[in-house]
Amino acid sequence: MATKSKGRQKIVMAKMREESNLRVTFSKWCSGSFKKASELSTLCGVEIVIVVFSPMKRVFSFGHPNVEQIFDKFIDAQNPSPTNSTSLQLVQALHSARARLLNTQLCELLHHLEEQKQQREEIKKLRKQGQDMFWWEAPVDDLGFEQLDMLKREIKDQTSSEACNDAGSTGTRWV
């Protein structure tokens, strides 16, 4: 006699204890909710917005046609006072989250720009020091790691090409 399965079990609605399970479940439910909202807006032609704050304090939003347009429409329709409007707080939270992201990106770009400026200044200094000579003619102590590496490769290339030229002229084959 075959054993019967228990079938689909009911999930207890309580906060999960394990953080990894919590993150996975949030991700799946969030994407599923956004998908359902998209289907609802497509099938019924409604404007819809969903704003979700993750357990990691990140903001996720979905809106059709877009989040800001629907929030603005809702705020205009309700004509709320700016001090205790939850929708206004949500909009401000969304804007501040985006601003933080853009500020982070800006800081990274400024840091990269500063590094590039420092490299340019170092190159200018090297050029001023050795205006009468090429960088590979400068004292080895003044060269940086990258320049030393380039010099090493050039010397290898020169010695191998000279060896090939010598071998070709004498008829001797170098292996």
Query: Which tens digits make up the pLDDT trace of 63-77?
Result: 888 888 888 888 777
DSSP state of 85: -
- Taking the C-alpha atoms of residue 60 and residue 135, their distance in angstroms, rounded to an integer, is 53
Tens digits of per-residue pLDDT, 64-120? 888 888 888 887 777 655 555 677 788 888 888 888 888 889 999 999 999 999 988
pLDDT per position as a tens digit, 20-78: 888 888 888 888 999 999 999 989 988 899 989 888 888 888 888 888 888 888 877 77
What ranges in the chain are assigned the alpha helix state H? Answer: 19-44, 67-78, 86-129, 145-170
pTM of the entire structure?
Answer: 0.39
